[in-house]
Amino acid sequence: MPTLDHTSLLLTLFVDMPHVVMWPNFQALTQLTVVPFSPECTAQDLEMEEEAYQYARAFVAAWKTKQANTSMRDDMDGRLKFMRGKLDQWHEGRNHTRQWLSQKWDEWAFSEVVTEVFEAAGYDTWEFHKRNGAQEWMSADDAEIYRVFRPLAVRFFGQECLLSGDGMVNPKLKPFIKALAYLNWEKLSKRWTRALKQLRTSHHTLVKDLEKLKAHDSLTLKEITSIIGRIKNIITKGMKFGLEEVNKITE
């Protein structure tokens, strides 16, 4: 597998599909080091400013420990400072995502693997899609799901993707596996673009709120709390929006 070191694409993948990107077998499969989130990776390795690098690490650490929401004013300022510097990079990353997926689809033989799994399960890919619908979760019984989605998951992520005991696919991987089965990369890219547009609009509004917060010490506690609350909300949405949009397609 090729090595991909495009920082903006990796940031984008993490924001959009954190559970999938942080899955160890995903990194092993793609030979990607998810930066700047790997302890072995430094700011110098990424050619990032140290300050932005530390904000990125703090951002991910907070997400991992589910403490991303905080009312500390200086912490919110720091997070938005990082977001301002990286928003255009995320935009660029989404464009690269579309190109990269298109290229790697052929290079990694994704379509060949999908076809092979369907044939082994006794299905014609076109008939399967016609019967189930390209944007619908399979309406067939559990046996049919087992025969298609489970083999796909194992081929791309290894046995570790299966839950111990019942052997079912880890739920966190379902959006990615369903996208593979339905070949929905083009639609996923459009969802990402729409998500970014909404994020940019909210971001600009919140930057103005933050400037207002800094410029007017006479603001009441209620006003300050309201502004900080909005900042917290957009940070939370920014981390979750991409994955939610993907789920809308594949569910």
Which regions in the chain score pLDDT beneath 50? 1-38, 46, 63-77, 79-98, 100-101, 126, 129-142, 184-189, 192, 196, 235, 238-239, 242-243, 245-246, 249-251
Which one-letter amino acid corresponds to residue 161? C
Give the start-to-end residue ranges of the domains of the chain.
7-65+72-108+186-250, 110-183
Predicted TM-score (pTM) of the model is 0.34
- What's the pLDDT score for residue 98? 47
Is-contact 184 250, C-beta < 8 A?
yes
DSSP string, the chain: ------HHHHHHHHHH-HHHHTSHHHHHHHT---TTS-TT--HHHHT--HHHHHHHHHHHHHHHTT------HHHHHHHHHHHHHHHHHHHHHHHHHHHHHHHHHHHTTHHHHHHHHHHHTT--HHHHHHHH-TTS---S-HHHHHHHHHHHHHHHH-GGGBPTTT-PBPGGGHHHHHHHHHT-HHHHHHHHHHHHHHHHHHHHHHHHHHHHHHH-TT--HHHHHHHHHHHHHHHHHHHHHHHHHHHHHH-
Judge residue 56's burial from the number of C-beta atoms within 10 Å of its C-beta, 0-12 exposed, 13-18 middle, 19 or more buried: buried
